[in-house]
Structure 1
Amino acid sequence: MRFTVLVGIMMLASCLAQAQKKKDDDITSQFPTENTRFGLEANKAKNRPDRKNISYLYVESSKNILYGNPCATEATRKMGFEYVVQPLGIPGSPEADEIEKHNFLVKLKLFFTRGPFWKLVINKRIKECAAKSGDIVG
């Protein structure tokens, strides 16, 4: 009788251990890395997650762009760009003609990737963000 109880307890313990092992096998919760499948090289392009390239539009003033507002920053990043405040005349910063050339290329990219009305769309989203967050200074 004692032998069967002992065997039964050992079987129950092994079943519980197997259930715990299955629970621990979820490696995505244990290793928050880009590559969670073993045996795959993380540095190969086909195994990496997709990353979005963010372009930067230089502006002289932070007026009407809600600089620092998380909602507006997220909206501009979804469009594929981000505003950077770059006042003219600061030592080490690009000159006005360099900024114009850079902004022209970024706007041209946005024209072809987001459509000809990308500026109207982002302005509308920024106004919605201002209304949601109560940012009336913007």
Structure 2
Amino acid sequence: MLCTQLDGRLGLTDAAFNLISISEPSWRLGVMVSPEDGLTLFVDDWRGTGRPPTQRADMITRGWQSFVPLLRVWDAVYEPGQAGAAQAARLAVSELRHRGVGTPSALRVAEAVMGDQGPLELPGLGISSS
């Protein structure tokens, strides 16, 4: 849905936002849409700095594609369009549930931006901004 909503608005710029759990703000789930790179999800590794990343097999089984050590995040990249957006949405919801988020009211949107065009409004998510 985000990909199709932003298609005409993006032009050559990217759009991104983070979802943060109200009860556990130490991690974030990031969403980025780019006309060049498609749709990418990121999630902080749960274990924090100075600890080994979560077991690779566990994260791959959950749908994450690779670990980025420098950023200490797992990512998953999808093609733009409805099929990729549906896959990304399933992974995002699954990961949020895995981390104990039960409802959208348990989340906040942070750092929602549309390239150099400023803030990105996401009223369709039904999640408050922080």
TM-score over 0.5 (shorter chain)? no
Q: Using CA pairs below 8 Å that are at least 6 residues apart, which structure has the higher relative contact order?
A: 2
More strand as a share of residues? 2
More helix as a share of residues? 1
Report which of the two structures shows the higher radius of gyration computed on alpha carbons: 1
* Alignment TM-score, normalising by the size of structure 1: 0.29
* Alignment TM-score, normalising by the size of structure 2: 0.31
